[in-house]
Structure 1
Amino acid sequence: MTQRNRLNWSGAAALRGTRAGAARGLRLAAEHVLTEARKRVPIEEATLERSGVASVDETALTAGVSFDTPYAVRQHEDMTLRHDAGRTAKYLERPLEEEAANVEAIIAAQVRRALRG
């Protein structure tokens, strides 16, 4: 007895779903990194903390997290500055490195979700 199966592959739809899931994952992952960075950003009046944004370029599938004050770079890079407990220089770099596995998992989960349905 011969058994036949038919598979209809919709590659274009699968790619669209994968791309949409990746974009959603990037947004969630960038927001996650921003949340973690805000926990460490030097704080006096919270201006630097409030300036943080997460952005996604869905065309290029890239994400960014940035802080936009005149002193954001100095606060990030100058290791000699003193900060309140729990607040530190490298407030963006360290959370990004430490959360890399979580970032990957967030993106992967959204791609899987998009492919399921």
Structure 2
Amino acid sequence: MSTALNFPLGPIRSAITEGLHDAAEVIKQEAIERAPKDTGYLRNTAATAAEGLEAAVGFDGPYAVIQHEEVGFHHQDGEAKYLENACIAKKEVVGQIVAEAIRRSIG
């Protein structure tokens, strides 16, 4: 026995994209707070993008990856793995944000 869902997929996909964008913004803000701060340049390069069923958070600059990956650096303000740790810290919130966007779209 099967049950057909009568929801149009277009609005649901749009809601997922919207939810992913909002979730990426939450992760970005957490990552900004965790990113090493010397001049503030790294924190100011944070950006998000969402398209379809994918979203991304990133930092730009010649040393963004080095600052993220090098756990041996001492930071007076911030930490290594700032983006990874932000994702881990906000993983439950991300699911809730996307779920809420879908719920709104199906009424």
- TM-score after normalising by structure 1: 0.84
- Tell me the equivalent position of 1:108: 99
CA distance in structure 2 between the aligned counterparts of 1:49 and 1:95, rounded to whole angstroms = 13
Q: 2:69 aligns with which of 45, 64, 77?
A: 77
Quick check: 1:67 aligned with 2:59? Answer: yes
CA distance in structure 2 between the aligned counterparts of 1:15 and 1:21, rounded to whole angstroms = 10
Q: 2:82 aligns with which of 76, 91, 98?
A: 91
- How do residues 22-37 of structure 1 correspond to structure 2 at under 5 angstroms? 22-37=16-31
Deviation at 1:20, TM superposition (A): 1.1
RMSD of aligned alpha carbons: 1.2
Deviation at 1:16, TM superposition (A): 1.3
- TM-score after normalising by structure 2: 0.91
User: Aligned pair count?
Assistant: 103
CA distance in structure 1 between the aligned counterparts of 2:9 and 2:106, rounded to whole angstroms = 9
- Tell me the equivalent position of 1:46: 40
Deviation at 1:10, TM superposition (A): 4.8
CA distance in structure 1 between the aligned counterparts of 2:86 and 2:6, rounded to whole angstroms = 39
Is the radius of gyration larger for structure 1 or structure 2?
1
CA distance in structure 2 between the aligned counterparts of 1:34 and 1:114, rounded to whole angstroms = 24
Name the % identity: 34
